[in-house]
């Protein structure tokens, strides 16, 4: 595994950085203050992302191109997973909330790519899909989902409530996680594509949040919501031995992307803090022991080392997915490390810059607020540590809680 940026992905990174610098940064504060107002400036980016997909060869790039490749038949490759992570890092260097609001780049698109049949992928091509997992009684433990799906003739009937749905009010469709039989546990959990406006599905609330205010976060009620039979992603067969690995494969693809969000916002905070301190005559000198340096210098160097660790774990998890290597453990490791690093770095940068860092004169305080969600959604820090421990120790969820 080479650690240099692949030449084939330089254009993707450059384009994403230009978007972050010239589109996201100038409107970042505007939509932080105007929560729930749709950022119209993002409409143009949908076409740009489509262009990136078209220019990414047969693998594409972006959330809707994420997938686990099979084996090494074509040699070591850097595909859609690496491309998406590198692009997301740059976009979140600009603004995490805006990155989450780009049309057709919802987490539901990753679920469709991971689980859908070839026919479904073609049918839902171009659809902006949110993903609804969390419920009032089922937060970090997805196996406790209580939303039900019942087959009635040629239609599925969904009933339940979903909360904290990113892009839940703006997306064209929502991928709903529901159970076919509560008595069969996680093996009966499947995912269903529900188009926006389907009778029986209603956005009942938009949440006000500490950060990522440019992104809408919705609560959705499902009351006898009927969808076509073939809107079930994957098969309706319940395999109690296999569990719900099909729908969970989505996380193996998306957790490195969430790690990339943390890497991006943390890098933004580090670079801007270094710039602000430089204006006050504090330059970072890398030669010599830390004990010989100013406290601020030493702290920046330590934070940069932690940031690099998170970045490398993210790259490894993405590389494994592109090359057909099972990456569930590494995906959780990357998400856990990068998210914690992002929280610690952004908050510490606010502290190092004092009143300037805490005020709205700079974006540091916003990045600190935005970074917290990265440690929460897609599985909290605690859940990631549990997943990692189970994998390393060979324990099932019933044996290690």
Integer Cα distance of 126 and 109 in angstroms: 9
Structure-block tokens of residue 70: 């099979």
Catalytic residue (one of 135, 330, 365, 378) = 378
Within 95-204, where are the H helices?
Answer: 96-99, 107-115, 118-123
The string over 50-84, giving b where at least 16 C-beta atoms fall within 10 Å of a residue's C-beta and e elsewhere, is bebbeebeebbbbbbbbbbbeeeeeeebbbbbbbb
Which DSSP helix (H) or strand (E) runs through 233?
A: strand 232-233
- Number of residues that this document lists for the chain: 401
Residue 378 annotated in active site: yes
Contact 298, 305 (CB under 8 A): no
| Angle of the 328-352 helix axis to the 381-393 helix axis, nearest 10 | 140
Contact 168, 130 (CB under 8 A): yes
Contact 168, 176 (CB under 8 A): no
Tell me the catalytic residues: 378
């Amino acid at each position: 595994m080479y650690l240099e940026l692949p030449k084939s992905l330089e254009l993707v990174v450059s384009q994403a950085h230009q978007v972050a610098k010239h589109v996201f940064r100038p409107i970042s504060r505007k939509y932080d203050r105007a929560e729930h107002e749709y950022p119209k400036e993002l409409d143009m980016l949908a076409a740009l992302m489509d262009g990136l997909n078209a220019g990414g060869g047969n693998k594409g790039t972006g959330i809707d191109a994420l997938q686990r490749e099979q084996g090494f038949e074509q040699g070591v490759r850097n595909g859609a997973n690496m491309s998406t992570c590198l692009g997301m890092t740059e976009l979140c260097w600009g603004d995490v909330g805006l990155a989450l609001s780009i049309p057709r780049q919802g987490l539901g698109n990753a679920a469709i790519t991971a689980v859908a049949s070839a026919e479904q992928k073609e049918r839902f091509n171009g659809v902006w899909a949110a993903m609804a997992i969390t419920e009032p009684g089922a937060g970090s433990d997805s196996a406790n989902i209580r939303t039900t799906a019942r087959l009635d003739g040629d239609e599925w009937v969904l009933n339940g409530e979903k909360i904290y749905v990113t892009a839940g009010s703006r997306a064209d469709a929502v991928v709903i996680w529901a159970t076919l039989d509560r008595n069969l546990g996680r093996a009966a959990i499947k995912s269903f594509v529900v188009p926006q406006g389907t009778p029986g599905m209603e956005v009942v609330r938009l949440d006000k949040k500490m950060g990522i205010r440019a992104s809408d976060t919705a609560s959705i009620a499902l009351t006898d919501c009927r969808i076509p039979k073939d809107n079930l992603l994957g098969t309706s067969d319940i395999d109690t031995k296999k569990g719900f690995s099909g729908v969970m494969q989505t996380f193996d693809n998306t957790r490195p992307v969430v790690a990339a969000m943390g890497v991006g916002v943390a890098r933004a905070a580090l670079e801007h803090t270094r710039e602000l301190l430089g204006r006050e005559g504090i330059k970072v000198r890398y030669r010599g022991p830390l004990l010989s340096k100013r406290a601020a210098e030493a702290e920046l160097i330590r934070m940069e080392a932690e940031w690099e660790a998170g970045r490398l774990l993210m790259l490894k998890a993405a590389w494994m997915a592109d090359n057909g290597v099972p990456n569930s453990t590494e995906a959780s490791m990357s998400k856990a490390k990068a998210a914690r690093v992002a929280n610690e770095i952004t908050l510490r940068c606010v502290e190092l810059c004092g009143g300037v860092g805490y005020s709205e004169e700079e974006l540091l305080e916003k990045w600190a607020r935005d970074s917290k969600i990265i440690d929460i959604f897609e599985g909290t820090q605690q859940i990631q540590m549990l997943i990692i421990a189970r994998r390393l120790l060979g324990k099932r969820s019933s044996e290690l809680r």
